[in-house]
Amino acid sequence: MLEHPSTPTPAINRGDRNLADIFERNEICKTFRISYLANRLVIPVYEYIKREFGLNWGEYLLLFCLSNIKELTAQDVADMTGRPRNSISRAVHRMLDDGYLTRSPDPEDGRQALLRITPKGQELHGQIVPRFIARQEQILGSLDGDELRKLDRLLAKLVGSNAP
């Protein structure tokens, strides 16, 4: 079923082709719009992170998670981010080698290791997160306070119903 948004999408024209039609005339409008917005939000920041700090997506996600939760396992980070475990494991090794993380045995599960961010890692995260904040404000800037609160509730509901 094709759906049309309540607010029209601005035209993106290339000659006689209206490229914005893709947002309104496809079988997966909501999925495509969410993907488009997510890409517009994160890709420029991840390109900056790669260029300025030499970190890949998984490495930064590891820093981000550990800057917000004191101790995590690599599996925790994979579950929280939706990234494959092997990409998080590679990130762990790199971040340990570079002094951004520490690792200690998990007293509850000897097969797991608990990861913690170091002051060096926290400092790096502090240099990066303002870029995400600015980009988030830019992408969401057309929404008023009530719309932002509603979006936040809807996103929380979607995340909560799809978490592992």
Model confidence pLDDT, tens digit, residues 2-37: 344 444 455 566 666 767 777 777 888 888 889 999
Q: Is the Cβ–Cβ distance between 121 and 101 less than 8 Å?
A: yes
Q: What is the pLDDT of residues 105-148, one digit of tens each?
A: 988 887 889 999 999 999 999 999 999 999 999 999 999 999 99
CA 37 to chain centre: 11
**How many angstroms separate the CA atoms of 146 and 48, rounded?**
31
Q: So what's the pLDDT on residue 16?
A: 66
User: At a CB cut-off of 8 Å and minimum separation 6, what does 13 contact?
Assistant: 19
Q: Supply 5's token pair.
A: 């948004």
Cα 43–Cα 49–Cα 51 angle in degrees, nearest 5: 100
Cα 69–Cα 50–Cα 77 angle in degrees, nearest 5: 25
User: At a CB cut-off of 8 Å and minimum separation 6, what does 42 contact?
Assistant: 132, 135
Domain limits of the chain? 13-162
- CATH number 1.10.10.10 given to 13-162: yes
Q: So what's the pLDDT on residue 3?
A: 43
**How many angstroms separate the CA atoms of 62 and 65, rounded?**
5
**DSSP assignment letter at 8:** P
Element (H, E) at 91: helix 85-97
Q: What is the pLDDT of residues 36-85, one digit of tens each?
A: 999 999 999 999 999 999 999 999 999 999 999 999 999 999 999 989 99
Name the β-bridge partners of 86.
Answer: none
